[in-house]
Amino acid sequence: MLAMHNAIHCARRSTRAVIAPLVALVYQTNVRADAPLNYFLHADGPAATPTMRLGWALAALAVVVALTVTGLLVAAIMRRRPPPAERDAAHLQAEGGGMHWVWIGTSISSVALFVTLAYVLVTLESVASPRKTPELTIAVTAYDWWWKIDYTRTNRGEAGVTTANEIHIPVGEPVKIELRSADVVHAFWVPRLAGKTQTIPGVVNEQWIEADRAGVYRGQCSQFCGAQHAHMAFEVIAEPRPQFDAWYAAQALPHVADASVNAGAKLFLDRCAGCHAVRGSDASGTQAPDLTHLNSRRLLAAGALPNTASNQLDWIRHAQRIKPDALMPSIALSASDAAALSAYLRTLQ
């Protein structure tokens, strides 16, 4: 027993030692302040890069065609004609003429379209499925208005991991994402890694992502899903395989009770456990994010806030102000209760 306990502590400490600087690093270098969802200038994986190049080609084509046709339109309007004095107001041009314009213009447009179509189909083929079969499958279930992440099947026969709003993947490996919905239609979208796929009740959709380099990639629900559609974000954290394995091992561990925060733990069980789970405790709610390793996550409330102790309390007390109509209620807490609960939450490493 004791040995196992020690091992757990050891594993946790070492993971923290690895993750903390890594997280700090990627936070500084990879979350670009300019448009984290920008997929037109940034693509970081084989499911996104061919699409980005296609987008550039299409945009270039569109600009060229728009300029050409606008040029023709302006030239048609402005071109020099007989001076007004020689014009007879009642004179009309004959019906014929001009048809070659239509044929030439339409023919060129059609050829351009079919070439574009060929390029589109080639790109579709290359991003529709990964070149090698993914070893890792992650089940993502969309809820109003957050994401449940389950690592159910791995090739290593490890225990499952459940977390929320933060997906960790190993760099350079294709990962299969199984998409479900617990309520309404949402859409899973990590713009820099892949296009979007709806999560539809009663249907299991699939998509794949792969990151070329370590980093934090923001994701967002893109299908209107009700009141808090705007704040239904998540992050994909790509890290080298060893760090990923360490993270996984740490996440697989249950929470270990800490007697010094018993008051907070009791409060949690009374007020929070109906919806939230902490594996290793009696809290086993399933309608809200699993909080077993709450403090290992970068963000809070589906990407709405940085995950700090003060934001945690703020969220608990003012959830309805921060995300109106979200399913998390604003919970009134006395100062002492708040301190106790906060102390307990700090143990959810």
Partner 1 sequence: MTEHAATPAPLQRTLTIGRIEPGSEQERRLRELWETPPGWRGWLSTVDHKRIGLRYLVTAFAFLIAGGIEALVLRVQLARPDATLLTPEQYNQLFTMHGVTMIFLYALPVLSGFSNYLWPLILGARDMAFPRLNALSYWIFLFAGLFLYASFPFGEAPNAGWFNYAPLAGLTYSTGPNIDIYALGMVLLGISTTVGSMNFVVTFLRMRAPGMSLDRVPVLVWGTLTASGGNLLAVPSVSLAFFMLWLDRRIGTHFFDVLNGGRALLWQHLFWIFAHPWVYAVVLPAMGIVSDALPVFCRRPLVGYLPVALSTVATMVVGFVVWIHHMFATGIPALALSFFGAASMVIAIPSAVATFAWIATIWTGRPVFRVPFLYFAGFVFLFVIGGLSGVLTAAVPFDWQLTDTYFIVAHLHYVLLGINVFPVIGGIYFWFPKFTGRMMSEKIGRIGFWILFAGFNIAFFPMHIAGLLGMPRRIYTYAPDMGWNTVNMITSIGAFLFAFGVLVFLWDFAYSLRRGPVAGDNPWDAPTLEWSTSSPPPPYNFAIVPRIASRHPLWEERISGTMRSRLTEGYVLDQGREALGTTALDGDPDVILKMPEDSYAPFWLGVASLVFFSGLALTAWWLAAFGLAACGAAIVVWLWPRRELGQRDDTAHPRESGATS
Within positions 18 to 37, which residues make up the interface with partner 1, using CB under 8 A?
Answer: 33-37
Q: Does 332 bind partner 1 (CB under 8 A)?
A: no
Q: Does 70 bind partner 1 (CB under 8 A)?
A: yes
Phi, psi of 139 (to 5 degrees): -95, 120
Query: CA torsion angle for 23, 157, 233, 212 (degrees, to 10)?
Result: 60
Enumerate residues 133-152 that contact partner 1 by CB under 8 A: 144
User: Pattern of binders to partner 1 over 297-326, x per CB under 8 A?
Assistant: ---------------------------xx-
Q: Does 10 bind partner 1 (CB under 8 A)?
A: no
Closest CA to 39 of 185, 175, 173, 222: 222
| Complex with partner 1: residue 283 or 304, whichever CB lies closer | 304
Distance separating alpha carbons of residues 205 and 102, to the nearest angstrom: 44
Dihedral over Cα of 20, 279, 156, 218: its sign:
negative
Rounded least distance, CB 203 to partner 1, Å: 6
Enumerate residues 76-115 that contact partner 1 by CB under 8 A: 76-77, 79, 81, 87, 89-95, 97-99, 101-102, 104-106, 109-110, 113
Enumerate residues 223-282 that contact partner 1 by CB under 8 A: 223-230
Select from 11-19, 57-65, 241-249, 278-286 the region that touches partner 1 (CB under 8 A). Answer: 57-65
- Contact present, 328 and 145 (Cβ < 8 Å): no
Q: Which of 7, 17, 20, 69 binds partner 1 (CB under 8 A)?
A: 69
Q: Is 167 exposed, middle or buried (0-12, 13-18, 19+ CB in 10 A)?
A: buried
User: Which run of H or E residues covers position 49?
Assistant: helix 49-78
Q: Which of 221, 261, 267, 299 binds partner 1 (CB under 8 A)?
A: 221
Secondary-structure breakdown of the chain: helix, strand, coil percentages, each rounded to the nearest 5: 45, 20, 40
* # residues near partner 1 by CB under 8 A: 88
Q: Does 172 bind partner 1 (CB under 8 A)?
A: no
Q: Which of 7, 17, 24, 73 binds partner 1 (CB under 8 A)?
A: 73
- Contact present, 215 and 238 (Cβ < 8 Å): yes
Q: Is 23 exposed, middle or buried (0-12, 13-18, 19+ CB in 10 A)?
A: middle
Q: Which of 59, 60, 159, 256 binds partner 1 (CB under 8 A)?
A: 59
